[in-house]
Amino acid sequence: MLAFALALAAGGCAGADRARFSADRPVVGPEIVVSARPQHEEEDPVPSWDGSRYLVVWQTTRRGPSDVYGTWVDPAGRVEPRDGFPIAEAASDTLFPDAVFGGGVHLVVWQDLRSRRNWEIYAARVTPDGAVRDPDGLAIGAGPGNRRYPRVAWSGRVFLAVWMQERPGSGWDVAAIRVGADGRTLDPAEVIVASGPGDQARPAVAWTGRTFVVTWMTGPPESADIAAARVGEDGTLLDPDPLVVSSAPGAQRYPAVAAADGTALIVWIDGRASDRFALYGARLDADGRSPDPEGVPLSTAPRLHMFPAVACGSGTCLVVWEEEHPSAGPITRVTDVVRDVMALRWSGGAPGVPRVLAPAARGNHFTRVAVGGDRALVAWKDYRSGLAGGFGRFVGPLE
């Protein structure tokens, strides 16, 4: 079992419990079935901690079009309601939800095709008692061009939602907008965090205690780099010239970010040595400087690493990702892909030993993690039944 434990520490970033990781106790709990239904795809679960339980949100095809559903997972692992509840049921697909708790509500964001013209970004607030305050959704990013892959963070006073936004005919930018706990957007228009030649893609965001840090992949996929910028709580872009997180040879992709003790920790998959992609990370301090200009190798096992995520406690972060098993034959379906769900501790120095959370699961897992209370909840999807289902495990307990 994974040998590190979580414990609450005094203090913490606004809107989140903080925890520390130790290396001397077994911590992997039994598997939790978040959502699995015959005949339907239940995909991409994302946990959000509100101080007493987790809201887990995902996308489901049970109505035909893809909707966003949620359920509650309490610290004992009970899932209620067992079949989930609707958060977004639009006339067309709603995809790739994200969620964070702050200001007394979980803000759930997703990409939405209800206009039938292009993807837009919508949001809804869900209260800890289970009420969906915005059943029709709130348009927080709309207009010409497509908007995709939203992520959201909470500062203690405002949410910042980020996404990739199409420049028709010329690529993608990274855009952001602030949202209040009452659901109102606080900026007259999106802030363009990153633009320029080629694509600025797959952004992620975290609050450090002083600023939001937004990170993304920049450039063509075959040679993408990792960049970042700080955004103030007032919406000011503090780094109009993006900060370089990694410009190593080869491609760097799919960044994720969290923060501990005022420092952002950014993780990504890195092709500098092999097309199998290793897992790397780097810190970014409050002034936008990195003590890790070459990046820190977190996992260099000779297997393809994909889709990392990270959540932080007090000084230490839990990094999760996928590692692919070699395939004896052609991969023609997602169920032909076999990957382990992995995790390790990292506080900015030498990383912990990688451990397996879900061995030999089929498909792309898009693993996510949230730290809160006396547990971290790791959630993923896999295709063990031939269709996607959502699963999870606790990492804990409290010392």
What does the alpha-carbon distance between residue 339 and residue 350 come to, in Å, rounded to a whole number? Answer: 25
| pLDDT value at residue 10 | 28
Q: What pLDDT is stored for residue 161 in this prediction?
A: 98
The radius of gyration of the chain's CA atoms, rounded to the nearest angstrom, is 19
Using the structure block, give the residue that is written with the tokens 């497509």.
Answer: 146
Q: What are phi and psi of 359, to 5 degrees?
A: -80, 140
Name the strands in the sheet holding 225-231, side by side, starting at the edge strand that comes first in the sequence: 200-207, 212-218, 225-231, 243-246
Instruction: Please enumerate, as own/partner, the contacts of 71-77 that have beta carbons within 8 Å and a separation of 24 or more.
Output: 71/34, 71/35, 72/130, 73/32, 73/34, 73/47, 73/377, 73/392, 75/373, 75/374, 75/375, 75/394, 77/29, 77/30, 77/32, 77/394
Half-sphere exposure of 161 (CA within 13 A, CB side): 37
Task: Report which residue type is found at 304.
Answer: L
Phi, psi (rounded to 5 degrees) for 336: -80, -15
Give the span between the Cα atoms of 106 and 358, in whole angstroms: 27
Residue 35 confidence (pLDDT): 97
CA distances from 199 to 35, 184, 221, 232 (A): 34, 29, 9, 24
Please give, one letter per residue, the 3-state secondary structure of the chain. Answer: CCCCEEEECCCCCCCCCCEEEECCCCCECCCEEEECCCCCCEEEEEEEECCCCEEEEEEECCCCCCEEEEEEECCCCCEEEEEEEEEECCCCCEEEEEEEEECCEEEEEEEECCCCCCCEEEEEEECCCCCECCCCCEEEECCCCCEEEEEEEECCCCEEEEEEEEECCCEEEEEEEEECCCCCECCCCCEEEECCCCCEEEEEEEECCCCEEEEEEECCHHHCEEEEEEECCCCCECCCCCEEEECCCCCEEEEEEEEECCEEEEEEEECCCCCCCEEEEEEECCCCCCCCCCCEEEECCCCCEEEEEEEECCCCEEEEEEEECCCCCCCCCHHHCEEEEEEEEECCCCCCCCEEEEEEEECCCCCEEEEECCEEEEEEEECCCCCCEEEEEEECCEC
pLDDT of residue 399: 34
Q: What is the pLDDT along the chain (399 residues), one digit of tens a residue?
A: 333 333 322 233 333 333 444 444 437 899 999 999 999 999 999 999 999 999 999 999 999 999 999 999 999 999 999 999 999 998 899 999 999 999 999 999 999 999 989 999 999 999 999 999 999 999 999 988 999 999 999 999 999 999 999 987 789 999 999 999 999 999 999 999 999 888 999 999 999 999 999 999 999 989 999 999 999 999 999 999 999 999 999 999 999 999 988 999 999 999 999 888 999 999 999 999 999 999 999 999 999 999 999 998 776 788 999 999 988 788 889 989 999 999 988 888 889 888 899 999 999 999 999 998 667 899 999 999 999 999 999 986 323
